[in-house]
Amino acid sequence: MKGLVFFSLLASIFVLGFLQESVHGRPSLMSLPKPRRDDSAAFARWLVSQNSWGVLSTVSSDWGGAPFGNVVSFSDGLPDKGKGIPYFYLTTLDPTASNALKDQRSSLSLSEYNIGTCGNKDPELPTCAKITLVGKLKLIEGTKEAEIARAALFAKHADMKRWPKSHNFQVYKLDIENIFMINWFGGPKPITVEQYLQAKLNKPALTVA
């Protein structure tokens, strides 16, 4: 009986500890270790690989060329095997896709906050990392890359397989041209697209709080 009490109390304490963590911050969704913050290209790739949705901005043809952000899901590859290129599954029933078909200029914005590793930090603080990939949003349906993209999307968003055929969802990619990332004090880190695409994530990295 004493053992049962001890176990129950221990379980309560453990679970209450987790509860406090998840109420104050966010439960961590991280599946790959966070790279060192000075390994900028790997850090950027980690931010993209560990997020699964964000805001995709296009030039609004409806609203006088206004920059139009829209909440979308994305995938940069099979889980923890992403290559850094964001793929999307979009319908022209939604303005983002139809904007992109008229003007490809676009950007995808993500926060470390959604990975759950910012704790209580304000998402605007430079110590809670953020990234914006700026480039061209391109329809790639029908290409070989689209098949890789579709597998990447369905692996992270199983629900997409069931989205209505009548809506004509198609695969798009963001062709990255510029990278804006802040993951510490001192302003955005200079990262070239080449450095970003070549960064390796699959070796265990030193975790930095």
Count the neighbouring beta carbons within 10 Å of the beta carbon of residue 43.
Answer: 27
Closest distance between a second copy and the C-beta of residue 64, in Å? Answer: 7
Q: Identify whether the C-beta of residue 37 lies closer than 8 Å to the C-beta of residue 43.
A: yes
For the chain, report the end-to-end CA distance as a whole number of angstroms: 41
Q: Which is nearer to a second copy, 93 or 197 (CB)?
A: 93
Interface mask toward a second copy for 120-159; x: CB under 8 A: -xxxxx----x-x-x----------------------x-x
User: Which residue spans within 98-148 are E strands per DSSP?
Assistant: 105-111, 130-139
Single residue of 61, 92, 98, 109 touching a second copy by CB under 8 A? 109
Report the sign of the C-alpha dihedral through residues 136, 93, 148, 205, in that order. Answer: positive
C-alpha span between 66 and 57 (Å, rounded): 10
110 binds a second copy per the rule CB under 8 A = yes
Which residues sit at the interface with a second copy, rule CB under 8 A? Answer: 1, 4-5, 8-9, 11-12, 15-16, 18-19, 22-23, 26-27, 53-60, 63-73, 89, 93, 95, 105-111, 113-114, 121-125, 130, 132, 134, 157, 159-160, 177-178, 180, 187
